[in-house]
A and B are shown apart, each in its own frame.
Chain A
């Protein structure tokens, strides 16, 4: 009864293939956008920004990116952390080499640089699939982290080996650097998230998205339809790495401010993003957001309950947190391999008929 299609007529194919075919969904989406842009920036404080909202937004971009590659195109990648590092170091080099360049342009250029690195490491995907490709991308992860540690040019020969983001503003508001306000950082990330979610949705609904899914589901059949496998896979690697590079640049410049590559972009980050898309839902834009929200919020929530409410020691809580999240990942894999997004879809089907069984 809640999600009724009755009376919601589609008069054209364009209307039939819109992102939110149901009125209720559409208005819900507008409402969320309105709250995110018009309410949250005024009530946000430093704790909420740095513990919850900004990491959620940045990981959303990263998991959208990995979902395009793994969820839509079927190419498993464990190089996410390494590609994020490329984005971060690209933005650092650009910020320090061109101090007058707008921060938005720097972030997008970092994405473009990461895209070209991603294409390079995507080349083996023509020959190898599945686990073997995952191992090849794992090599990318370790190589890139090693590279940014080893070659001093990347961190401008600083003694600590760290990179730290200089202050840059957007439209008169500082978005990077120690003095940037929570709401400016939040809005900067939010604009990019909305932009990239929109691009991800548009790319996956049309010709290119269908060619990705065709390669994922049956590469031989895709080829006899006219899909060039190499070009299609490399496009997926490029788009995916662009997203991940932007996430890396934001993670460094806006969120952390100062970064040491092995710590910030290690292999755990690659797995974190992979878990996000598995829990959220492979091949789903909504799933990328759900997965990112889940894995960002869950640790905060567990810590709040165990340490602050129950007064357990911090190290015990930290270990339990890993156990609980690991358990949830296994449960999702067993019970609903298509992730929380699929549970949401099934729930919507049920809500359409509720309270009647048929």
Chain B
């Protein structure tokens, strides 16, 4: 693999395309604290890109920069070959970036179906008057989007809990519904913040399979933060390693795992 080439082949034979998102020299400060320091990396079309690092390394801050919760003091973000102006999170969502949260952020008072239907918000266009009348355009649009949502529900195998309020669901299923809500938007770039946190081995296997299937079937570009090294090494194509807000490694899982800085960050340096 060469870093300058426009495309590259993965070991399992998939061709990864050009840059979807490029972060150039991003620096993010909170007062005197530097959360992210001069980091550059790119995410390419169709790849699964992992961001790893010890606690407090700035991984979640990086996702928050990508979807617009934080605005970096320095640096540029390029999305699909265009420099992105500072935007609100909902404007970035309209551009096709969806995400899940580390601590589940579902709409607790709504059913699974309604939660995932909410993911279709950007694709639904009927105006208020049509919504009031319901019969006609609003109902037609609702049914069209329901069909897409039902495909997501089938895909994630959550048919049985369609009408259950999500607050009543166990943790693993809630994580799955949240993934479904992000998938329903049919995003160009899917950000997953610790999709496997707090799961047992079986649930982790399920989630890994869903992530791989999403990437495989829909060709969705995925960036994920994860602490489980086994999972990261198994499913990701390229890995960014952060520590104390700095990038200390970037490359395929094999390259990263043999990087001395990365080993030092995770295992500590012998000062003796």
- Interface set of A (CB-CB < 8 Å, partner B): 12-14, 17, 199, 202-203, 205-208, 210-211, 213-214, 216-218, 220-229, 235, 283
Expressed in whole angstroms, the Cα–Cα distance for A218 and B105 within the complex equals 7
Which chain A residues lie closer than 8 Å to B117 at the CB level? 210
Interface centre among A12, A210, A224, A235 (most CB of B within 10 A): A224
Q: Which of B106-114, B214-222, B260-268 contacts A (4 or more CB under 8 A)?
A: B106-114
Contact with A along B100-131 (1 / 0, CB 8 A): 01000111111000100111011010101001
In the complex the two chains form, is B146's CB within 8 Å of A13's CB? yes
In the complex the two chains form, is B99's CB within 8 Å of A211's CB? no
In the complex the two chains form, is A225's CB within 8 Å of B146's CB? no
Which chain A residues lie closer than 8 Å to B60 at the CB level? none
Q: Assess A13 versus B109: contact at CB under 8 Å? Given A211-B118, A224-B90.
A: no
Which chain A residues lie closer than 8 Å to B99 at the CB level? 224
Which chain B residues lie closer than 8 Å to A220 at the CB level? 69, 105
In the complex the two chains form, is B107's CB within 8 Å of A213's CB? yes
Asked if B138 is at the interface (CB within 8 A of a chain A CB), the reply is yes
- Which listed residue (B107, B128, B133) contacts A217, Cβ 8 A? B107
In the complex the two chains form, is B134's CB within 8 Å of A206's CB? yes
Which chain A residues lie closer than 8 Å to B89 at the CB level? 223-224
Q: Which residue of A lies closest to B101 (CB)?
A: A221
Expressed in whole angstroms, the Cα–Cα distance for A205 and B94 within the complex equals 22
Nearest-CB distance from B49 to chain A (Å)? Answer: 19
Expressed in whole angstroms, the Cα–Cα distance for A57 and B185 within the complex equals 41
In the complex the two chains form, is B93's CB within 8 Å of A225's CB? yes
Nearest-CB distance from A155 to chain B (Å)? Answer: 33
Interface centre among A199, A211, A226, A227 (most CB of B within 10 A): A226
Which chain B residues lie closer than 8 Å to A17 at the CB level? 142, 146
Expressed in whole angstroms, the Cα–Cα distance for A223 and B99 within the complex equals 11
- Which listed residue (B105, B131, B133, B143) contacts A208, Cβ 8 A? B131
- Interface SS of B by simple majority: helix
| Pairs across A and B, CB under 8 Å, 16 listed | A199-B132, A203-B128, A205-B134, A206-B126, A206-B138, A207-B126, A208-B128, A213-B110, A214-B121, A217-B108, A218-B108, A223-B89, A224-B67, A225-B98, A225-B185, A228-B88
Asked if B44 is at the interface (CB within 8 A of a chain A CB), the reply is no
Asked if B59 is at the interface (CB within 8 A of a chain A CB), the reply is no
In the complex the two chains form, is A13's CB within 8 Å of B147's CB? yes
Nearest-CB distance from B97 to chain A (Å)? Answer: 8
Expressed in whole angstroms, the Cα–Cα distance for A217 and B92 within the complex equals 21
In the complex the two chains form, is B131's CB within 8 Å of A226's CB? no
Nearest-CB distance from A24 to chain B (Å)? Answer: 19
In the complex the two chains form, is A12's CB within 8 Å of B143's CB? yes
Nearest-CB distance from B183 to chain A (Å)? Answer: 12
Q: Which residue of B lies closest to A220 (CB)?
A: B105
Expressed in whole angstroms, the Cα–Cα distance for A216 and B115 within the complex equals 13
Q: Which residue of A lies closest to B114 (CB)?
A: A210
Q: Which residue of B lies closest to A200 (CB)?
A: B132
Nearest-CB distance from A246 to chain B (Å)? Answer: 14
Contact with A along B127-154 (1 / 0, CB 8 A): 0100111100011011100110010000
Nearest-CB distance from A241 to chain B (Å)? Answer: 14
Which chain A residues lie closer than 8 Å to B93 at the CB level? 223-226
Q: Assess A203 versus B132: contact at CB under 8 Å? Given A224-B89, A225-B119, A228-B90.
A: yes
Nearest-CB distance from A237 to chain B (Å)? Answer: 14
Q: A207-B131, A223-B89, A235-B128 are in contact. List 16 more A-B contacts (CB 8 A).
A: A17-B142, A203-B132, A205-B134, A207-B138, A207-B141, A210-B114, A217-B109, A218-B105, A221-B106, A222-B118, A224-B98, A225-B90, A225-B118, A225-B122, A226-B121, A283-B109
Expressed in whole angstroms, the Cα–Cα distance for A226 and B93 within the complex equals 5
Expressed in whole angstroms, the Cα–Cα distance for A173 and B259 within the complex equals 87
Which chain A residues lie closer than 8 Å to B67 at the CB level? 224
Nearest-CB distance from A248 to chain B (Å)? Answer: 21
Q: Which residue of B lies closest to A19 (CB)?
A: B134
Asked if B181 is at the interface (CB within 8 A of a chain A CB), the reply is yes
Expressed in whole angstroms, the Cα–Cα distance for A196 and B122 within the complex equals 27
Expressed in whole angstroms, the Cα–Cα distance for A221 and B99 within the complex equals 9
In the complex the two chains form, is A216's CB within 8 Å of B109's CB? yes
Expressed in whole angstroms, the Cα–Cα distance for A283 and B181 within the complex equals 22
Nearest-CB distance from B231 to chain A (Å)? Answer: 24
Nearest-CB distance from B129 to chain A (Å)? Answer: 10
Nearest-CB distance from B161 to chain A (Å)? Answer: 15
Q: Which residue of A lies closest to B181 (CB)?
A: A225
Which chain A residues lie closer than 8 Å to B128 at the CB level? 203, 208, 235
- Which listed residue (B105, B139, B141) contacts A221, Cβ 8 A? B105
In the complex the two chains form, is B131's CB within 8 Å of A202's CB? yes
Nearest-CB distance from B151 to chain A (Å)? Answer: 12
Expressed in whole angstroms, the Cα–Cα distance for A199 and B143 within the complex equals 19
Nearest-CB distance from B247 to chain A (Å)? Answer: 25
Which chain B residues lie closer than 8 Å to A283 at the CB level? 109
In the complex the two chains form, is A210's CB within 8 Å of B110's CB? yes
Nearest-CB distance from B86 to chain A (Å)? Answer: 15
Interface centre among B88, B108, B114, B118 (most CB of A within 10 A): B118
- Which listed residue (B106, B134, B139, B143) contacts A218, Cβ 8 A? B106
Expressed in whole angstroms, the Cα–Cα distance for A188 and B142 within the complex equals 33
Nearest-CB distance from A314 to chain B (Å)? Answer: 43
Which chain A residues lie closer than 8 Å to B118 at the CB level? 210-211, 213-214, 222, 225
